[in-house]
Amino acid sequence: MPDQTDKQTFSDDEALEFHRRPTPGKISMAPTKPMATQRDLSLAYSPGVAVPVRAIAEEADRAYDYTSKGNLVAVISNGTAILGLGKLGHMASKPVMEGKAVLFKRFADIDSFDVEVKTTDPDEFVTVVKNIGDTWGGINLEDIKSPECFIIESQLQDELDIPVFHDDQHGTAIISTAALINACEITGRNIEDVKVVLVGAGAAGLSSIGLMKAMGVKAENTTVVDLAGVVYRGRAEHMDQWKAVHATDTHKRTLAEAMVGADVVLGLSAKGAITPEMVASMADKPIIFAMANPDPEITPEEVHAVRPDAIVATGRSDYANQVNNVLGFPYIFRGALDVRARRVNHEMKIAAARALAALAREDVPDEVAMAYRGRRLKFGPDYIIPTPFDPRLIWYVPPFVAQAAMDTGVARKPIEDMDAYRTELRQRLDPSAALMQKIASAVRAAPNKRVVFAEGEEPAVIRAAWAFKQSELGTPILVGREDLIRQNAMEAGLRFDELGIEIVNARVSEHNALYTDSLYERLQRRGYLRRDVQRMINQDRNYFAAAMVSHGHADAVVTGVTRNFNMVLKEVRRVLDVKERLIGLSILLAKGRTLFVADTSIHELPDAEELAEIAIQAAATVRKLGRNPRVAFLSYSTFGNPPGDRGEKVREAIRILDAKGVDFEYEGEMPPEIALDPDARSNYPFMRLSKDANVLVMPAIHSASISTRLVQALGGATVIGPLLVGLEKSVQIVSLGASVSEIITAATFAAYEEGVADEDPPEPIRAAAQREPDATPQPAPAPRPRTSVPPTS
Ligand SMILES: NC(=O)C1=CN([C@@H]2O[C@H](COP(=O)(O)OP(=O)(O)OC[C@H]3O[C@@H](n4cnc5c(N)ncnc54)[C@H](OP(=O)(O)O)[C@@H]3O)[C@@H](O)[C@H]2O)C=CC1
Ligand SMILES: CC(=O)C(=O)O
Ligand SMILES: [Mg+2]
C-alpha cells in the first residue's frame, strides 16, 4: 500500500523553514492610510478619530463605512479537530488558522486574522466570541469538533448580526455537493437515485450529507457511518441529536456492509478508513470522495488499482479533483461581505454549490490548464470541480452568493449593478501571484527546459532543484560531487534517488575536454594558459555550467548563492557572449502594481545611448512577459527643471529613442510621483505616457539598486531579481545566500527566458499582451449555472 507521504513534495524541515523565514508565520498587517505627517496622525488618531467614533455610536452599521470591518473576517478555532489530526489544542491550530487567513487574502482579497480561543467548553467559547464578534464583517469558525461545533455556530449566529460560518461544515458541504452534482452528470446518474455512504459523522460529514439531501439525494438512499459503525435508527450508543437526524432504517452495521453496491462514498473521517476491498464492492463507475486531510481515507492509486472506472476526489492539491473548502470560503465570504450580509443562509450555500458545479463545465482557459500541465482539465472524471488556482473563481462565484443574499433579505447593502460588480471582482486578485503563476504556467507548457543549478552541493540549491522538478517546471541538473550532494540531500530529508535528479561532476564529465578546449580558444589571447582554463573548468562550477549551456547540453543556468554577483557575472561572461544589451531588470510588486525597474545590476553610470538601449531591452523583456511597456526615465528633475547634466543625459536618451522610432511609449525625465500618478501628469499636456508607467529606467545603478532595496526593506513590497537579460543563453544570478524560493524563482525565469519567451508567447500571454492587460477587463456574460439538479425551495 503506497504511503501518502510518497506524494509529499517537501521535507518536514522545509515546512518548518517555510513557516519560520523570513518572518515567522504567514500574515502581517498593512496600513491603508499614510501615517506620515502630524495631520495624518491628528486625523487617524486623536482628535480626528472622535468624529467616526461619534458617528458609529449613533449608528453601529456605520462601522462598515469608517472602519475595516466590512472586509475583515476572523478565523476562529479552539483546536479540537485540527484537519484530520485531532484535538491538538488551540495553539497548535494557529498555523492552520493563519493559513486560512492568508488564503482569504490571496484568493478573495479579504483581510483576515486568526483567533485561537483557549477553551474546549462550548459556552465559554460562545461567550468569548460573541463579546468580540462585532469587530468583524464575518466569522469563519474552523476545526472545532462535533457536536460542539453545531451548538457553537448556531448560538453565535443567533447572537451576532454578521455571517458566522463553520467552514468545515458548510464550506465542505458546498464543495462536495458541487462535485457530486458533476460526478453524477459524468457517470450518467440522476442525483435522486444515487446511493450514498458517508464515512465520518462529524462537522464536515453531517453538513455535507445534509446539503446533498437538500439538492436531491433521497434520505433513504443514504447510510452514515462513524467509529461505532452504521448510524441506524434506534442505535443508542455513541449517538447525538445531529447524527440521529441522518439515521436510517437498515440492517447494515459496518462500513464494509454499507458500501456493497453503493454509488458514492464520502470520506470525511480519517486516513485509511476505506479499504480497497470496500471500493471493489461498489456499483459500476463508483464515485469516491476521500476528503480527510492531510491524508485521505484511501488514495486514488489504491482505488484505481481495484476500480479503474472510479471517479476519485481528495482534499489534496497533488491529485486530480481537489475537493477542499479552499474553493469555497474565500468566495462565499466575498459575496457575503460585499452585500454586508447578516448571515450565510441555505440559499447562499446552494447558490455557491451550483456556481462551482457550473464553472467546472465551462471551457477551461489555457492559462489555468497550463498551470496543471499533464492533467486533463476538461469536464470529465479527472476534472469534476474547478481547481483552486482558477482565476475565474473570484468573479464567478461571489455574484451568485450576493444575489442569493439579496433575494432572501439578508443583505444590508444590495449590489445595484452586477456587471460592474463582476468587473470590480476581476481586479481584486493579487498581481504578484498572478504574474508568477503566469510565468510558471508558460514554463510548464513549453518544451521541457534543462536548467543547470551550478552550486549543486549547497543544501538550499538541492532543495530548490528538487522543488523545481516536483513542480514540473523543467529538468534540473546539479553540478557537484555526487557523494556530497547525496549526503546533503539526505540531511535535508529529501529522497533523492526517487526523484532521479541528474548530477554532473565537472572533473569527471565526459565533456570536460570539449569545454576546456573551447574556453581556451576564447581566452588564449587574453593571457590564459590552457592549464589555467583546465583548472577553471574543473574547479569553478560557473565556468562549467556556462559551458554546458554554451554547448547545448543544457538550456539555462542558475547560480550566485555562494559568490557575489560581479564575480559570477565576470566568470559567466568569459564563456558566453552578450546577445543584446545586457541589463539587470528587477520586478517590484507593491500595492497592486507591477513595476519593472532597470538597470539594477550592470551599467554603473549609463550614458544617453546606453540609457536608450536599457529602455529598449527592458521594454522587450516586459512585452515578453505579457505586458504592454510604458517606460518612464526617472530623474530628480522634471523636464529640465531643475537643469543639470544628469537630466540632460536623460533628455538625450529620449531624443535617441525618437530617432529610432521604437514601438513603445516612453517619456522623461521625471520623478517617480509623476510617472505613477495621473493627476501629477495632468500638469504636462505634452506628456506621452497614456497611463502610469510600468517600466522605470533609472539614471544610474545606485539609484536603481538603492530604491528597489529600500522599498523591499520597508516592507509591503516584493522585489524579484535583478533578472539578467541579454546574454546569448539564459543565466540567472541570485543574491548571495539566496533562499530556496528565490532560487526557484530565478530558475523559473531562467527557463522562461530561454526558449519560452523567445518562442511565440503562449496563447493567454499573447492575448493578454494584445488586449493591454491593465485595461479595464470586460465583464463576462453573467454565468448561468447549468445543472441537472432540481431547484430546491
Ligand atoms: N476536504 C475538505 O475540504 C475537508 C476535509 N475535512 C476532513 O474531514 C475529517 C473530519 O473533519 P471534521 O468533520 O471537522 O471532524 P469531526 O471531529 O467533527 O468529525 C470526525 C468524524 O469522523 C469519524 N471518524 C473518525 N475516524 C473514523 C473511522 N476510522 N471510521 C469512521 N468514522 C471515523 C468520527 O466518528 P465519531 O463520531 O464516532 O467520533 C466523527 O464522526 C478530517 O480529516 C478533516 O481534515 C474537514 C473539512 C473540510
Ligand atoms: C480543509 C479543512 O478545513 C480541514 O481539513 O479541516
Ligand atoms: Mg478545517
Percent of the chain at pLDDT above 90? 72
Confidence (pLDDT) at 372: 63
Mutate to test the pocket of ligand 1, among 143, 197, 226 (most ligand atoms within 8 A of CB): 226
CATH annotation of 436-577+728-771: 3.40.50.10950
* Higher-confidence position of 523 and 11: 523
Q: Can 12-24+42-162 and 436-577+728-771 be said to share one CATH topology?
A: yes
Which residues crowd ion ligand 3, with CB under 5 Å? 143, 168
CB distance 325 to ligand 2 below 6 Å: yes
SS3 697: strand
Q: Is the peptide bond before 294 cis (omega within 30 degrees of 0)?
A: yes
Q: What is 545-570 written as a DSSP string?
A: HHHHHHTTS-SEEEE-SSS-HHHHHH
* Higher-confidence position of 109 and 782: 109
Q: Is the peptide bond before 121 cis (omega within 30 degrees of 0)?
A: no
Least confident segment among 176-180, 391-395, 532-536, 606-610 = 391-395
CB distance 324 to ligand 2 below 6 Å: yes
Using a 10 angstrom Cβ sphere, with 0-12 exposed, 13-18 middle and 19 or more buried, the burial of residue 413 is middle
Cross-strand pairs, 314:
290, 322
Determine the average pLDDT of the residues in 505-529: 94
Confidence (pLDDT) at 391: 81
Cross-strand pairs, 696:
597, 632
Within 10 A of 209 (CB to CB), how many other CB atoms are there? 27
CB distance 295 to ligand 2 below 6 Å: no
Residue 404 CA to ligand 2 centre (angstroms): 25
Ligand nearest to the CA of 295: 1
Determine the average pLDDT of the residues in 245-268: 97
Confidence (pLDDT) at 765: 34
Q: Are 324 and 388 in contact (CB under 8 A)?
A: yes
What is the residue with the minimal CA distance to atom 3 of ligand 2? Answer: 168
Distance CA(650)–CA(245), nearest Å, equals: 76
Q: In this structure, what C-alpha cell is assigned to residue 517?
A: 578546449
Give the position, in ligand 2's atom list, of the atom nearest the Cα of 315: 1
Tell me the average pLDDT of the chain: 89
What is the tens place of the pLDDT at every residue in 9-45? 678 888 898 899 878 999 988 888 877 788 888 999 9
310 Cβ contact list (under 8 Å, min separation 6): 279, 282, 285, 286, 287, 288, 303, 304
Question: Does residue 747 register a pLDDT over 90?
Answer: yes
What is the residue with the minimal CA distance to atom 25 of ligand 1? Answer: 269
Residue 330 CA to ligand 2 centre (angstroms): 14
Mutate to test the pocket of ligand 1, among 145, 149, 168, 170 (most ligand atoms within 8 A of CB): 168
Q: In this structure, what C-alpha cell is assigned to residue 465?
A: 532543484
The residue extents of the domains of the chain are: 12-24+42-162, 170-328+339-392, 436-577+728-771, 586-726
Confidence grade of residue 422 (pLDDT, cut at 50, 70, 90): confident
- Give the torsion sign (CA, 545, 548, 553, 554): positive
Least confident segment among 410-419, 528-537, 544-553, 734-743 = 734-743
Q: What is 713-779 written as a DSSP string?
A: HHSSEEEEEEEEEEESSEEEEPPTT--HHHHHHHHHHHHIIIIITTSPPPHHHHHHHHT-TTSPPPP
Residue 88 CA to ligand 2 centre (angstroms): 14
Residue with cell 483552486: 388
Confidence (pLDDT) at 780: 37
Confidence (pLDDT) at 554: 96
Question: Does residue 760 register a pLDDT over 80?
Answer: no
243 Cβ contact list (under 8 Å, min separation 6): 201, 206, 224, 226, 231
Residue 197 CA to ligand 1 centre (angstroms): 14
Confidence grade of residue 787 (pLDDT, cut at 50, 70, 90): very low
Give the position, in ligand 1's atom list, of the atom nearest the Cα of 326: 3
CB distance 315 to ligand 2 below 6 Å: yes
Residue type, 751: A
Q: Are 364 and 380 in contact (CB under 8 A)?
A: no
Residue 227 CA to ligand 3 centre (angstroms): 19
Q: Is 493 left (phi over 0), alpha (psi -120 to 50) or beta?
A: left
Confidence grade of residue 592 (pLDDT, cut at 50, 70, 90): low
What is the tens place of the pLDDT at every residue in 125-170? 999 999 999 999 999 999 999 999 999 999 999 999 999 999 999 9
What is the residue with the minimal CA distance to atom 32 of ligand 1? Answer: 226
Class for domain 12-24+42-162, per CATH?
alpha beta
Determine the average pLDDT of the residues in 246-262: 97
Determine the average pLDDT of the residues in 689-693: 94
| SS3 letters across 363-421 | CCCHHHHHHCCCCCCCCECCECCCCCCCCCHHHHHHHHHHHHHHHCCCECCCCCCHHHH
Confidence (pLDDT) at 431: 57
Q: Are 295 and 226 in contact (CB under 8 A)?
A: no
What is the tens place of the pLDDT at every residue in 639-673? 999 988 788 999 999 999 999 999 999 998 999 99
Mutate to test the pocket of ligand 2, among 142, 207, 323 (most ligand atoms within 8 A of CB): 142
Residue 325 CA to ligand 2 centre (angstroms): 7
Confidence (pLDDT) at 11: 81
Question: Does residue 757 register a pLDDT over 90?
Answer: no
Residue type, 155: Q
Q: Is the peptide bond before 472 cis (omega within 30 degrees of 0)?
A: no
Residue 84 CA to ligand 3 centre (angstroms): 8
Question: Residue 112 phi/psi, 5° resolution?
Answer: -150, 140
Question: Hey, which CATH number is domain 586-726, 3.40.50.10750, 1.10.3210.10, 3.40.980.10, 3.40.50.720?
Answer: 3.40.50.10750
158 Cβ contact list (under 8 Å, min separation 6): none
CB distance 293 to ligand 2 below 6 Å: yes
Q: Are 411 and 341 in contact (CB under 8 A)?
A: yes
Determine the average pLDDT of the residues in 410-434: 81
SS3 645: helix
Distance CA(519)–CA(529), nearest Å, equals: 11
Q: Are 315 and 321 in contact (CB under 8 A)?
A: no
What is the tens place of the pLDDT at every residue in 604-639? 999 999 999 999 999 999 998 878 999 999 999 999
SS3 679: helix
Q: Are 261 and 286 in contact (CB under 8 A)?
A: no
What is the residue with the minimal CA distance to atom 2 of ligand 1? Answer: 324
Ligand 1: list residues with CB < 6 Å: 81, 83-84, 145-146, 168, 172, 199-205, 225-228, 238, 268-270, 273, 291-293, 315, 323-325
Q: Is the pTM of this model over 0.80?
A: no
CB distance 80 to ligand 2 below 6 Å: no
Confidence (pLDDT) at 770: 35
Give the position, in ligand 1's atom list, of the atom nearest the Cα of 147: 18
CATH topology of domain 170-328+339-392: Rossmann fold (3.40.50)
Determine the average pLDDT of the residues in 458-467: 90
Instruction: Tell how strand 264-267 and strand 665-670 pair up.
Output: unpaired
Question: Residue 56 phi/psi, 5° resolution?
Answer: -75, -35
Q: Which residues are identified as catalytic?
A: 45, 100
SS3 706: helix
Residue 187 CA to ligand 1 centre (angstroms): 27
